[in-house]
Amino acid sequence: NSSTKPPPTPSPLRFSKFFQSNLRILVTGGAGFIGSHLVDKLMENEKNEVIVVDNYFTGSKDNLKKWIGHPRFELIRHDVTEPLLVEVDQIYHLACPASPIFYKYNPVKTIKTNVIGTLNMLGLAKRVGARILLTSTSEVYGDPLEHPQTENYWGNVNPIGVRSCYDEGKRVAETLMFDYHRQHGIEIRIARIFNTYGPRMNIDDGRVVSNFIAQAIRGESLTVQLPGTQTRSFCYVSDMVDGLIRLMEGEHTGPINIGNPGEFTMLELAEAVKELINPEVEIAKVENTPDDPRQRKPDISRAKELLGWEPKIKLRDGLPLMEEDFRQRLGIPRKN
């Protein structure tokens, strides 16, 4: 029967597992915000070897400086839109700019990163028999017509808008993941990440939490984009990393929402930053950008049930944890 699929080629890595017990883990985009925190956590386990590939578009070597030179760590300058040959057991595929000002800067490149980059990582996963996790996004729900968003919701995404390179790019990346899973038996995991914040966020990437914290430290007005009643749910980065690792280690493909269900308007967020970081700053209302989703809040029942995961850090506890890191990078020490 000509339609019978040939048996999968035995991978050299599977063979090498007889001889070594270390787990070799590839993290694409590992020099970025979430990626570098993930690397820190993975490196804590002495059985893990970590390889990071990154093109440094929005990430930096600085985020990984404590690991450079470590015998279980390797850093490779590489763009995931080009093929990559490495031998690994697991792939955390994060490479992709996450902030609107960066992903809109070169939208065609953003699509290539999501589509060709994910295709390459799936081709790699297929060749070596690795398990692959994609960091997808709550943006696949677009400007959602269901609230809160469950994984079964298909989304309300503008296919031709200025955010589409990212939203539709991630949607195709998810499709590719499932097609490689169904067609080639690849072990996949998909996390739908909701807004995440913490130390090492890019200071000037225009995201709301990093903007407000930097503004509060500089003594500038907090720029709430109109109408200010739009909502987001913010997850502290250590909770996020914990969720991603549980998803990778667990038995479920996903997609699974990983985020903090605490929902805040942008005005409430500004009030909290003002109170916690600098009560003297003012709150200013400014113009918004097109296609801004009006509300966003994850339903995390699936993560709770299937991964035993839920976030531990509340927004009011997480915000102050960013202050010291931002002050150091801005060169503005705390008074007194």
Residues serving a catalytic function are 166
- For position 239 contacting ligand NAD by CB under 6 A, the verdict is no
Looking at the DSSP bridge assignments, the partners of residue 28 are 53, 93
- For position 266 contacting ligand UDP by CB under 6 A, the verdict is yes
- For position 211 contacting ligand UDP by CB under 6 A, the verdict is yes
Sites for ligand UDP among residues 284-323 (CB under 6 A): 288, 292
E strands, the chain, are 23-28, 48-54, 73-77, 90-93, 131-137, 188-193, 196-197, 222-225, 231-233, 235-236, 256-258, 263-265, 283-286
Q: By C-beta, is 281 or 313 nearer to ligand NAD? A: 313
CA distances from 241 to 142, 157, 198 (A): 24, 27, 11
Sites for ligand NAD among residues 103-142 (CB under 6 A): 113, 117, 135, 137
Interacting residues of 56 by C-beta distance below 8 A, sequence separation 6+: 31, 77
- For position 238 contacting ligand NAD by CB under 6 A, the verdict is no
Residues in the chain: 336
The 8-class DSSP code of residue 91 comes to E
For the bound state, the minimum distance from the C-beta of residue 59 to ligand NAD, rounded and expressed in Å, comes to 2
Looking at the DSSP bridge assignments, the partners of residue 142 are 156
Q: By C-beta, is 121 or 128 nearer to ligand NAD? A: 121
- Give the whole-angstrom CA distance, residue 4 versus residue 66: 50
Closest among 229, 223, 257, 231 to 243, alpha carbons compared: 257
- For position 67 contacting ligand NAD by CB under 6 A, the verdict is no
Closest among 249, 252, 296 to 141, alpha carbons compared: 296
Residue 245, contacted partner among ligand NAD, ligand UDP, none, CB below 5-8 A by kind = none
Task: Kindly tell me which residue out of 27, 115, 191, 208 binds ligand UDP, with binding defined by CB under 6 A.
Answer: 208
Question: What tokens does 80 get?
Answer: 């995931």
For ligand NAD, which stretch binds (CB under 6 A), given 2-10, 41-49, 57-65, 285-293?
A: 57-65
- Give the whole-angstrom CA distance, residue 193 versus residue 151: 11
Residue 59, contacted partner among ligand NAD, ligand UDP, none, CB below 5-8 A by kind = ligand NAD
Please classify residue 304 by burial: count the beta carbons closer than 10 Å to its beta carbon, then call 0-12 exposed, 13-18 middle and 19+ buried.
exposed
Residue 208, contacted partner among ligand NAD, ligand UDP, none, CB below 5-8 A by kind = ligand UDP
Q: By C-beta, is 140 or 216 nearer to ligand NAD? A: 140
For the bound state, the minimum distance from the C-beta of residue 43 to ligand NAD, rounded and expressed in Å, comes to 17
Interface contacts to ligand UDP, rule CB under 6 A: 83-85, 100, 119-120, 123-124, 126-127, 195, 206-208, 211, 223-225, 230, 232, 266, 288, 292
Interface contacts to ligand NAD, rule CB under 6 A: 28-29, 31-35, 54-59, 79-81, 94-98, 113, 117, 135, 137, 193, 195-196
